[in-house]
């Protein structure tokens, strides 16, 4: 039995435990990583490499920065202001939250956007007396969709552009060219969540949130500390947004900005060291860190490539470009539920170009489908960092993502098959 087949079997077992939650999600993820090392899929030294991944550091830092907003009472103040503007109706709040999340994710890292907005949304939910589980998943979904709007919003878009350049194509993607598919997907996602998806979201009170609220009430907070907390978050967001434009590129990364913000929050007394440690959601940390080696194993063993080749083989000798686009969308979206969206796009983009050239079709349509699908990791908490980030604070279970996210994936699939051929014709007129 080849290593690729063994890896697929392991992935199936991991998926089974994720769905049934017979053991905690974090334990399943770390167990999968350890198994990859024992079975020789990855070097033993790489088993816990996910814990040193920069995204894990970003998570930890932003958890602390976010908690400082709660302990100073700032998040509640912001929440009360938003509630005054939008009211306490679930749809109006969801619309506002998803608009902000999508807009920021178009120009910022969608992971950074979700991390920055998480404490604000928790404050909004607290002020509106709405369980956080009703709004955090829509936030994560909006961040994922908004990232598709521009070339730099999400890694798959950049990878698709790089694949065109590597293939020697003269016409690559423009910065805002992705908006043709990103905006329809974002609007479709918002409509779906507001009118159908919300009925599939859990209505779950979060004990951790209640504990934070009790601590905030018990502690004497001051306006000064609120302002300091706000200044810290603002600085972190600005560095993430425009750091490279003001000469900080290569000097201060997203992760460094988050950790500096966390340190500043403790040093200024916005929260204590003990509160900072307690604010980090370790389930999220270990879940994400555990799945990184599993994703790497799928790439190194060829398991991901095996799935891709098998699926493409099912299409026959000369499939229509629309069928190719549909199948590659499904394949990319399926892989990205358990692999990183970056890895999925990197695996499939060269395949998509090869198939397009064989059919004599413009590869742009196929690459857009692959990249967009790679960002549609809505049916699991491990496909994209924003989903993982809201898992703990939202009190979600694996099946919550399956229930609410599967419908959104279908919506994105239908929209993509309609929009992509219109904007990027398979056989453009010469």
pLDDT of residue 430: 56
Angle at 217 between CA 58 and CA 72, to 5 degrees: 40
Whole-angstrom distance, CA of residue 157 vs CA of residue 154 = 6
Give CA torsion, residues 82, 88, 89, 94, to 10 deg.
40
Alpha-carbon distance 136 to 146, whole Å? 15
Phi-psi region of 395 (alpha: psi -120 to 50; beta: other; left: phi over 0): left
| H or E element, residue 371 | helix 363-374
Helix, strand, coil fractions of the chain, as percent rounded to 5: 75, 0, 25
Predicted pLDDT at 218 = 42
Q: What tokens were used for 7?
A: 């890896």
Q: Which residues of 248-286 are buried (b: 16+ CB within 10 A; e: fewer)?
A: eeeebbbbbbbbbbbebbbebebbeeebbebbbbebbbb
pLDDT at 215: 45
- Which tens digits make up the pLDDT trace of 318-343? 677 788 788 888 988 988 887 777 77
SS3 375: coil
Q: Do residues 240 and 112 touch, judged by C-beta distance below 8 A?
A: yes
Q: Which residues contact 420 (CB under 8 A, 6 or more apart)?
A: 181, 325, 365, 368, 369
Give pLDDT tens digits along the chain (430 positions): 888 899 889 988 887 887 677 888 788 889 989 999 999 998 999 899 888 877 788 778 877 887 888 788 887 677 677 777 887 788 888 998 898 888 878 866 677 778 778 888 888 888 888 898 999 999 999 999 998 998 767 778 878 888 787 777 777 888 788 999 999 999 999 999 999 999 999 987 655 444 444 444 444 578 888 899 889 988 887 887 666 555 566 677 778 888 999 999 999 999 999 989 888 878 778 877 887 788 778 778 888 777 767 766 777 666 777 887 888 889 889 888 877 777 778 777 877 777 777 777 788 888 999 999 999 989 988 778 889 889 888 889 989 999 999 999 999 999 999 999 899 888 776 5
For residue range 188-208, list pLDDT tens digits in order: 999 999 999 999 999 876 554
How many other CB atoms sit within 10 Å of the CB of residue 317? 6
Gap between the terminal Cα atoms of the chain? 49
Place of tokens 């991991």: 14
Per-residue b/e over 138-162, b at no fewer than 16 CB within 10 Å? Answer: bbbbbbbbbbbbbbbbbbbbbbbbe
Q: Which two tokens stand for residue 131?
A: 């369980």
CA dihedral 416, 417, 421, 424 (to 10 degrees): 30
State the Cα–Cα distance between residues 324 and 212, nearest whole angstrom. 50
How big is the chain, counted in residues?
430
């Amino acid at each position: 039995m080849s290593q690729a087949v063994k890896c697929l079997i392991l992935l199936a077992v991991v998926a089974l435990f994720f769905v049934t939650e017979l053991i905690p999600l974090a334990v399943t993820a770390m167990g999968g990583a350890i198994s990859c090392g024992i079975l020789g899929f990855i070097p033993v030294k790489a088993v816990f490499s996910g814990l040193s991944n920069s995204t894990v550091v970003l998570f930890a830092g932003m958890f602390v920065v976010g908690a400082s907003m709660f302990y100073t009472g700032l998040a509640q103040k912001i929440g009360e202001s938003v509630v005054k503007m939008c009211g306490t109706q679930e749809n109006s709040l969801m619309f506002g939250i998803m608009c902000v999340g999508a807009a920021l994710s178009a120009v910022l890292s969608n992971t950074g956007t979700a991390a920055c907005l998480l404490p604000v949304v928790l404050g909004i939910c607290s002020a509106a007396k709405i369980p956080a589980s009703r709004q955090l998943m829509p936030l994560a979904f909006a961040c994922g969709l908004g990232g598709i709007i521009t070339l730099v919003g999400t890694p798959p878009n950049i990878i698709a552009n790089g694949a065109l350049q590597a293939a020697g194509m003269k016409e690559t993607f423009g910065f805002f060219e992705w908006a043709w598919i990103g905006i329809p997907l974002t609007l479709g996602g918002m409509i779906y969540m507001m009118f159908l998806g919300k009925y599939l979201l859990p209505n779950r009170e979060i004990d951790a949130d209640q504990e934070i609220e009790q601590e905030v009430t018990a502690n004497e907070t001051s306006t000064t500390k609120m302002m300091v907390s706000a200044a810290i978050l603002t600085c972190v967001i600005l560095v993430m947004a425009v750091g490279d434009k003001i000469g900080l590129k290569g000097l201060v990364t997203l992760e460094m900005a988050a950790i500096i913000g966390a340190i500043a929050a403790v040093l200024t007394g916005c929260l204590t060291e003990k509160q900072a440690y307690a604010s980090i959601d370790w389930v999220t940390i270990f879940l994400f860190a555990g799945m990184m080696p599993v994703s790497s194993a799928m790439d190194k063993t060829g398991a991901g490539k095996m799935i891709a080749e098998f699926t493409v083989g099912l299409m026959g000798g000369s499939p229509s470009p629309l069928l190719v686009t549909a199948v590659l969308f499904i394949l990319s979206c399926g892989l990205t539920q358990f692999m990183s969206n970056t890895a999925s796009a990197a695996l499939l983009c060269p395949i998509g170009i090869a198939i397009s050239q064989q059919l004599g079709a413009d590869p742009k349509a196929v690459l857009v489908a692959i990249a967009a699908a790679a960002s549609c990791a809505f049916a699991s908490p491990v496909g994209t960092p924003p989903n993982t980030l809201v898992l703990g604070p939202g009190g979600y279970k694996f099946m919550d993502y399956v229930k609410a996210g599967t419908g959104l994936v279908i919506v994105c699939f239908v929209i993509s098959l309609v929009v992509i051929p219109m904007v990027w014709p398979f056989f453009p007129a010469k």
